[in-house]
Amino acid sequence: MCGIVGYTGKRKAAGVLLHGLSMLEYRGYDSAGLAVLGEDGQIRMEKATGKLYHLDKKTEHGERLPGRSGIGHTRWATHGEPNEKNAHPHVSGEWKQGAGNFTDSDVIGVHNGIIENQTELREKLLRHGYTFYSDTDTEVAVKLVDYYLKKYQIGPIDAINRMMVRVRGSYALVLMFRDRPGEIYAARKDSPMIIGVADGETFLASDVPAILDYTRTVYYIDNYQAARILPGEVHFFDLNGDEISLSPVTISWEPKAAEKNGYEHFMMKEICEQPDALRNTLTHYLKDGELDFSQAGLDSGLLGGIRSVCIAACGSAWHAGVAARYAIEELAELPVRVELASEFRYRKLLLSPKDLLIVISQSGETADTLEALRIAKRKGIPTLAIVNVQGSGIAREADHVLYTLAGPEIAVATTKAFSCQLLLMYALAVQLAYVRNKIEKERYLYYVHELRHLPDKAADCISAKEKVQRLAAKLAGANDVFFIGRGADYAVSLEGSLKLKEISYIHSEAYAAGELKHGTISLIEKGTPVIGILTQSSVSEKTLSNMFECKARGASLLAVVSGEALSDGGAALKEEDDASEWRWIRVPEADELFAGLLAVIPLQLLGYYTSVSRGLDVDKPRNLAKSVTVE
């Protein structure tokens, strides 16, 4: 959620920090701030509410903050409303709005996460003479470090370690100390943080794109670890204060992968990147024409001994799990539960070591999903993670990891990462079926063949975007939209509805088509758009009947159709094609188990073009963040 950057080296820090924050705008924020420690020992700081360009203007593109080490932050409000006093950085002393950009505080810091016992700690610090100017938990953490520093006359690492023992919650905390120019200190628990090293320079950020232009050699600091960052070097410490060694990771993404490359929005760029992302992901797990997950430790012994599968995820990743459930149950004949990770952690876990928990997360840092993983591991349940970020928290802690090779995804609304998650889940369903002797070799090779052709068919879906654009223009004025489908089509409806609502701000809901008459159809009135997903031949006729029931009550209809899913009903569909209240989109024919991956693409485009038609910020919708790293 919040964006953090840090830099120490040979450049002017403020420029590097502003660039890094601009690369993290997709995470969502309501204010921003910088602090730079100059060679003169002065800490200069500026904050601004709203978009980052306000801070850029206020600092004169960083020129008003001289110095070669500093920290920056884009804030997503949790404790306290979005304003300058609550914006980061925060200081151990006093801060007064409009009092200039100097601070004589000994400690200054930025923070991503939530300190759950901040009220208790605030009261403790008040008793020891501290005062507070903000409503944030971050100010509490900064002043707690200052308290330990002075009470025990210890160094920064020891003070930070005492803070970590005392606080409850999640944090990526980055600090500067006025008497230590050129140095930055950091600590982490559950909130993401990476540290990148180059020749004579060191960078810190909450996500890779912030530092990708400067280095691809990074370290992933783990829970309850601290770091001392110097120009061109970094030292790591455990909770006892002992120095430890961490291995660097090389990021494979090219810097241009995090740029728009001529597209108006990242979301459209990422929709159009789906064929390559799908192809790269599948090719990574193919060997001699067959699926091979051995590099993830998923051998036939493990896969063949599974009694059931449980999938835990949030948001679009949960929709990928819902869609995959139909393929796994159909092919592998395994019972599958799909749980919201945000609910999973508060329920009694009825799983055993003979079951497999699959967690899905684009960032690999989703807080609820990470906690679901940890609960399963504590109970000895095998875990498999499907993530897009190498070295992320979920990737490090899961027993087995399958990476989607989608590259960096900047737009808040996921597109290519979702498709790659779904593709990997389809591939896993095929492999499970084969090793469990539920399908013969010939059928297995047929399914692999179908998977290999999905990237090209995805490209065909994208090539028809002009038709979707015309339809979206008619949808832009809607107040309410309903998506319906049955079986796997219902899962696609869930994702289509989410795409529309999160970036166009139109109220949208997805329903299993058969549930319409159990109350929802009372909301249908003249002109209400109803979007049906029709890719499953065994149930599409029934869904079509539900759509015509809506039409009889004044609804405006749109269908996404795959292949010959409608059979005889296709004639009725074509007859209605010329009517003003009816529109339809056909996607390439594919095996019905995998057709959902293609059907979702025009729905992604529909959400995108509807948002554009309404003049909204497609990549950074209001109130949303790319990665939900707190509960």
Active-site residue list: 2, 626
Q: Please give the backbone phi and psi of residue 325, each rounded to the nearest 5 degrees, phi first.
A: -55, -40
The residue ranges of DSSP E strands in 178-260, in sequence order, are 184-189, 194-198, 201-205, 217-220, 225-230, 233-237, 243-244, 249-250
Helix (H) or strand (E) holding 517: none
Inter-CA distances, 255 with 193, 207, 249, Å: 19, 13, 16
Judge whether 27 and 112 are in contact, CB under 8 Å: no
Q: Is the peptide bond before 89 cis (omega within 30 degrees of 0)?
A: yes
Distances in Å between the alpha carbon of 579 and those of 326, 572, 575, 582? Answer: 34, 12, 8, 5
**Nearest residue to 90 via CA among 117, 56, 115:** 115
- Degrees, nearest 5: CA angle 622-404-461: 70
For residue 550, what is the enclosing H or E element? helix 540-551
Which residue matches tokens 């004025």? 477
The answer to whether the CB of 520 falls within 8 A of the CB of 482 is yes
Q: Is 185 helix (H, G, I), strand (E, B) or coil?
A: strand
* Cβ contact 440:240 at 8 Å: no
Q: What's phi and psi for 221, nearest 5 deg?
A: -75, 140
- Please tell me the distance from the alpha carbon of residue 530 to that of residue 559, in angstroms, as a whole number: 8
How far, in Å, CA of 477 to CA of 514, rounded?
27
- Helix 315-332 vs helix 488-504: crossing angle, to nearest 10: 170
CB-based contact 77:71 (threshold 8 Å) = no
Confirm if 361 and 404 have CB atoms less than 8 A apart.
Answer: no
**CA 179 – CA 424 distance, rounded (Å):** 51
| Closest to 68 (Cα-Cα) out of 239, 201, 171, 216 | 201
DSSP 190: B
**Separation CA 111–CA 36 (nearest Å):** 16
Token pair, residue 369, equals 């999903």
List the alpha helices (DSSP H) in 167-299.
266-272, 274-284
Which 3 state secondary structure label does DSSP give 553? coil
How are strands ordered across the β-sheet holding 249-250?
A: 102-103, 43-49, 31-37, 69-75, 3-8, 201-205, 194-198, 217-220, 249-250
